[in-house]
Amino acid sequence: MRPQFNFFKNIDKITVLLFFFLVIIGWVNVYAAEINENHRSIFDFSQSYGKQFVWIITAILLITIIFTIDMKFFPAFAYIIFGGVMLLLVGVLLFGTTVNASKSWFHIGPVAIQPAEFAKYATALALARVIYDNKSKSRTFKDLLKPLMIIAIPTLLIFLQNDTGTTLVFAAFFIVLYREGFVPGWIIILGIFGVFLFVLTLLINEFVIIGVLTGLSLIIAFFLRKKTSSVKQLLALMLLINAYVYVVDYAYDEILQPHQKMRIAVLIDESVDQRGAGYNLHQSKIAIGSGGLTGKGFLQGTQTKFSFVPEQGTDFIFCTVGEEWGFVGSVVLIGLFLTLLIRIILLAERQRSVFSRVFGYSLASIIFFHFMVNIGMTIGLVPVIGIPLPMISYGGSSLWAFSVFLFTFLKLDSRRLEFL
Amino acid sequence: MQNNYQSSEISSRRKNFIIFFIVLTGLIFLTRLFFIQIIDHRYKIFANSNIQRIVTDYPARGLIYDRNGELMVFNEPYYDLMVLPGQVREMDTLEFINLLDITKEQLENRLQAARVYSRFRASVFERQISKDIYAVLQEKLFKYPGFYVQPRTLRKYPEPVAAHTFGYVGEAGPAEIAANPYYRPGDYIGISGIERHYEEILRGQKGTRIVLVDALNREIGSFQEGRYDTLAVAGTDLYASLDLELQMYGEKLLQNKRGSIVAIEPSSGEILALVSSPGYDPNLLVGRIRTQNYQMLQNDTLKPLFNRALMASYPPGSVFKVANFLVGLQEGGITTHSRYGCPGYYRSGGITIRCRTHPQPVNVVSGLQYSCNTFSAIQFRNTLELPKFESMQQALTTWRDHIVSMGFGVTFDSDLSHELPGQIGSADYYDRIYGPRGWKALTVISLAIGQGEIGTTPVQLANLAATVANRGYYFTPHVVKAIGHPDSLNPGFLTRKRTTIDSVHFEVMAQAMFETVETGTGRFSRMDDISMAGKTGTVQNPHGENHSAFIAFAPVENPQIAISVIVENAGGGATWAAPISSLMIEKYINREVKRDWFEQRILDAAF
């Protein structure tokens, strides 16, 4: 056999293309959002867009390094990488600096690094490894324990950093667990129903819901009175739902922090005051809505600049896309994301190794969760949770983490036939 | 089911469900986007045909009244032309520059400067545009998108007095903006005096309104019925403790002279008049003329910006004998029965202090009455050399502590700006100069007559008079009597400050000061209808003619006013400072002055 010098052999060109499309779109929009009149060059390194260019170049370097690594390295070192990143997460709690109330940054000279961004990658590796190692192929509750542990450790550590957004991202791993048969479909459906009921509980007085549900159950029970077992099940379910509604109400009032409550309240009722939260959401929607069909054109946006939309280069970057490129631009961007996600899933499905498949699904799930929450929040469908739009938002840690994540998967995919 | 979890059929169903869920999310997003970007035109109306503008409402600064409710400081409205560079479009620049009477370069430069600050935050384009330009501009503003007029207010002073006390207001500089995020470029901030000390009370709270502006650059209403607006809170009015009439009279008496007058109400510490001459018209330091006038005042050789009443530290001269005699009585260096002869000088160990001819022998009362230097030196030396003191250091420190308890050598930490502490010679100081064993009472004997290593400010001297009037305590001298409501009290200055001297000794000094005016050095200024207690001082000035100094309080039995007057280079205290004090007291107590020739003599004097 000829020695392999072409590291990029067999790489999935469609995914690479999609990735670079998104990265370039991101860079251009960060430029449009944050342009400073005195530093008009997109390569001005004193500005965020100039820095983003540096992040892109360094990300390409990282990608090259990933591709030179032997693919056996990833399953072999999965736990070590996981352990290392978990130590970083503990370290950041002890020695990190606080930005926006989240203690999640390491400042090394001029560079600020957020270990939580890399925790997603490390968790995906470890999760892939633990499921790959599960040779029994059984799916009992006992088998679920180890994967749950692996997800729970980083979730807890990041929660302790007070970084709610990134903590929630780890919920995305349930999609992976579902695909691998650890979690039955009805739990996912129940989860969605739970969220629906959650919102309903906050909209309507909980006693009204409990009353209506109880009434409905009693009516159904009346018609089903011949079937004693069904009635019992129904009444049990009713009690459960009522308890849930009550707990949600309690949790909202007693457990959530005021700013979190406010974000949910704003979403449900726009007219809730909030000079802060409500105003941001409203401005975000004005920016996107005013884009119309074709948008105002590159650099012509008036709303996405400082006075109105906050965090315009990071969390609210979609506003710039919506305002300057309009509905057409939005369709293109969402289309690109959907294509990328489906492509990753299809690639994951063609893996012979469980390790690669789980890893691929983890990648798709994480990107999807970011996509759903980030765009959803700018158009008022999801509470304002500060997480970046992958490949698009300004930020080195996020871009590096997603590049490494995606290209590790592409590396695994390019060598899929060598896996046993 | 547990065995077929990986069957291709079930796996494929799960894969499809996940893809379905992803695509569904995408479709929900696109539907939502379709509605807000294409169907719902409200957002375009919000953003396109209407531009939101964040307008700052500047509340009127609080007014300042005098103690009798006379208005001393008010606000006058004016307009700034503002620019939002991000909204500036093509326009008829020629008409615009003619309207404002600026050059094309100025226009370009100012627009560039505004852009550098921010494209989306307003900058001041032209400050204080005249009413005429404002009227024309209002008509034509629709031609110049991005420009608008911001109403503001400027300070105005009906009577051009008490400039130092009020201080002035100016634009917040980069340092102030960095220190306090409340301030933005173009905002005003109190820079000195009352304006600075009570800045947060006077300024109120800025409000912001988000207004909608139509395509013709006109405000067409508030955004979302003002849901996101914050209301401006008006500044709170202050009641200065000054008596406007007395202040004006004091400034008139000091015309063509250099010096200061400080008058205090002993029972409260409220400053009734604070005159530093030469002063300036406070209306000069307002608005766009401020910088230019400030330069002018700063370059003036008479130093009108210098607040002599708080900052000029003079050796007090003979008026300080009051404080020294009090220490002597307290420590036992002298008693009310001590009597000494005066040969017209004090001589000891090669040091001679001259005295003038006066009846003798003298005791503590007549010693003060005739301002006897000999008696002063003897009592001071007796006190320092008392056997109970183990060292000269201990003796001088004891003396100094008493003096400091009367408010000397320290600032009052009051609402007066730029107050200086002056200095009182300390044991440490003399140790440094002469070595720990190198000095004795005779070395520091000049302190006995208020000369040497001693500097006091006029407000400290007035406070000494107030302390004697109160027979042993004082209230921190301050210039703001009440905040918000004329009958309230300024809560910062209600504590009675006791001196370390017993009140019986103050009674003796009050008597001595009364005698000083009745038959002693101050008799030239004696009034028939008001009993006054005072002490003259002639401050030796190595640079020229002596300074004339006087402290007093009146009426002796029920003091309502305590005063210090210093007239620089005028000569003896009895000739100038004492008459000015008596005129001020007459004015304050009787509200009118009947001694016309007496008054005219002062008004005509110039030094």
Rounded mean pLDDT of A291-315? 74
DSSP 8-state code for residue B61: P
Chain segment B7-39, per-residue pLDDT in tens: 678 888 889 989 998 999 999 999 999 988 988
Element at B67 (helix H, strand E): none
Query: Over the Cα atoms of chain B, what is R_g?
Result: 34
CATH code of the domain in which B132 resides: 3.90.1310.10
Q: Is residue A109's pLDDT more than 70?
A: no
CATH code, B519:
3.40.710.10
Q: What pLDDT does A1 receive? A: 44
Q: Give dist(CA A328, CA A340) in Å, integer.
A: 18
Say what the pLDDT of residue B225 is.
66
Angle at B261 between CA B278 and CA B287, to 5 degrees: 45
Distance from CA of B77 to the nearest CA of A (A): 28
Please list, in sequence order, all residues whose beta carbon lies within 8 angstroms of the beta carbon of residue A262, skipping any fewer than 6 positions away: A272, A274, A276, A277
Helices (H) and strands (E) in chain B, counts: 21, 22
Q: CA–CA separation, B122 vs B211, rounded Å?
A: 14
Q: How far is residue B548's CA from residue B570's CA, in Å, rounded to a whole number? A: 6
Does B2 fall in a domain?
no
Query: Is B361 exposed, middle or buried (CB count within 10 Å of its CB: 0-12, 13-18, 19+)?
Result: middle
Confidence check: pLDDT of B534 > 60: yes
- B291 found inside a domain: no
For residue A306, the model assigns a pLDDT of 44
Residue in chain A closest to B53 (alpha carbons) equals: A307
**What count of other Cβ atoms lies within 10 Å of the Cβ of residue B208?**
15
* Nearest Cα to Cα of residue B319 among B19, B539, B53: B539
**CA B250/CA B274 separation, integer angstroms:** 8
Same-domain pairing of B234 and B262: no
Both structure tokens of B206: 């800025």
- CB–CB contact B44 A140 (8 Å): no
Distance CA A376, CA A398 (A): 19
Which of B557, B560, B576 is CA-nearest to residue B568?
A: B576
Task: Quickly state the pLDDT bin for B47 (edges 50, 70, 90).
Answer: low
SS3 B233: strand
Identity of the highest mean pLDDT range in A4-8, A262-266, A277-281, B517-521? B517-521
Residues from chain B contacting residue A381 (CB–CB below 8 Å): 28-29, 32
| A304-318, A345-359, B374-388: segment of lowest average pLDDT | A304-318
Nearest to A408 by CA among A11, A83, A3: A11
Structure tokens at A147: 């994967």
B351 & B495 share domain: yes
Taking residue B85's Cβ as centre, other Cβ atoms within 10 Å add up to 22
Tell me what percent of the residues of chain B surpass a pLDDT of 70: 94
Q: Convert the pLDDT of each residue in A324-343 to its tens digit.
A: 999 999 999 999 999 999 99
Question: Which residues form the domain of B500?
Answer: 244-281+306-604
Residues 316-375 of A with CB under 8 A from B: 322, 326-327, 330-331, 334-335, 337-338, 341-342, 345, 349, 364, 368, 371-372, 375
How many CB atoms neighbour CB A229 within 10 A? 8
What's the half-sphere exposure (Cβ side, CA atoms, 13 Å) at A264?
18
Per-residue HEC secondary structure of B275-289 comes to EEECCCCHHHHCHHH
Residue A199 pLDDT: 66
Q: Tell whether B215 is within 8 A of chain A (Cβ).
A: no
pLDDT tens-digit map of B224-246: 666 667 788 888 999 999 999 99
Q: Looking at the domain assignment, is residue B579 inside a domain? A: yes
Partners of B454 in the β-ladder: B424
Helix segments in A4-72, DSSP class H: 13-34, 48-68
Model confidence at A274: pLDDT above 70:
no
Together in a domain, B263 and B136: no
Mean pLDDT of B123-147: 82
- Residues 6+ positions from B542 with CB-CB distance below 8 Å: none
Closest residue in A to B44 (Cα) is A290
pLDDT at A37: 63
Four-CA torsion B199, B205, B208, B209, nearest 10 degrees: -130
Domain stop point among B207, B223, B240: B240
**B210 pLDDT above the threshold of 80:** no
**How many Cβ atoms are within 10 Å of A9's Cβ, its own excluded?**
10
- Out of B36, B42, B47, the one facing A379 most closely (by C-beta) is B36
- What number is the average pLDDT over the span B338-350? 88
Nearest CA in chain B to A374: B29
Interface predicted TM-score (ipTM) over 0.85: yes
In a shared domain, residues B349 and B478: yes
Q: Is B86 on the interface with A (CB under 8 A)?
A: yes
Tokens at B501, concatenated: 């001297």
**Domain-ending residue, one of B240, B270, B294:** B240
Give the C-alpha separation, B607 to B256, whole Å. Answer: 7
CA distances to A393, A394, B81 from A52, rounded to whole Å, are 9, 6, 38
- Give dist(CA A1, CA A24) in Å, integer: 38
Higher local confidence (pLDDT), A164 or A359: A359
Task: Tell whether the model's pLDDT for residue A248 goes beyond 70.
Answer: yes
Provide the pLDDT for residue B86. Answer: 74
Average pLDDT for A286-302: 83
Q: Among residues A240, A222, A243, which one has the least CA distance to residue A231?
A: A222
CA geometry: angle B109, B113, B118, nearest 5 deg: 145
Residues B199 and B257 in one domain: no
**Alpha helices, DSSP H, located in B370-457:** 373-384, 392-405, 427-434
Find tokens 């469980």 and name the residue: A354
- Check: CB of residue B539 under 8 Å from CB of residue B500: no
Q: Are residues B227 and B263 in the same domain?
A: no
Asked whether residue B27 is domain-assigned, the answer is: no
B37 in a structural domain: no
Structural domain count of chain B: 2
A291 touching chain B per CB within 8 A = yes
Last residue of a domain, one of B240, B260, B291: B240
User: In B157-231, where does DSSP find H-type helix?
Assistant: 163-166, 174-179, 193-197, 199-203
Establish if B500 belongs to a structural domain.
Answer: yes
Chain B CB contacts of A306 under 8 Å are: 118, 120-121
In B, minimum Cα distance to A275 occurs at B228
In order of A153, B195, B236, B240, B416, the CA distances from B201 in angstroms are 53, 9, 6, 14, 16
User: In chain A, which residues have their Cβ closer than 8 Å to the Cβ of B115?
Assistant: 37-38
CB pairs under 8 A between A and B: 124
Q: Say which range, A25-39, B41-55, B529-543, has the weakest mean pLDDT.
A: B41-55
Residues B321 and B374 placed together within one structural domain of the fold: yes
pLDDT band of B3, cuts 50, 70, 90: very low
Query: Which residue in B14, B26, B228 is closest to A279 by CB distance?
Result: B228
Contact of B225 with chain A, judged by CB distance below 8 Å, is answered with no
Q: Could you state, in order of their start, the residue ranges of all structural domains in chain A? A: 13-183+260-418, 193-255
Same domain, B249 and B265: yes
User: B561-567 and B259-265: which strand pairing?
Assistant: antiparallel
Is the same domain home to B586 and B599? yes
Per-residue pLDDT, B132: 80
Residues of B whose CB is below 8 A from A363: none
Give CA–CA dist A206/B583, Å, rounded.
Answer: 81
* Residue B12 covered by a domain: no
Beta bridge partners of B211: B53, B222
pLDDT of residue A276 exceeding 60, the answer is no
At A312, is the secondary structure helix, strand, or coil? coil
Looking at the fold, whether B186 and B251 belong to one and the same domain comes out as no
Compute the residue count for chain A: 420
Residues of chain A with pLDDT > 90, as a percent, come to 39
Which of A138, A185, A303 has its CB closest to that of B17?
A185
Rounded CA gap, A319 and A379, in Å?
9
- Coil, helix or strand at residue B497: strand
The C-alpha atoms of residue B168 and residue B188 are separated, in whole angstroms, by 10
Query: Are B177 and B215 in a shared domain?
Result: yes
Is residue B256 domain-shared with residue B205, that is, in the same domain? no
Q: Is residue B474 part of a domain?
A: yes
Q: Are B457 and B310 in contact (CB under 8 A)?
A: yes
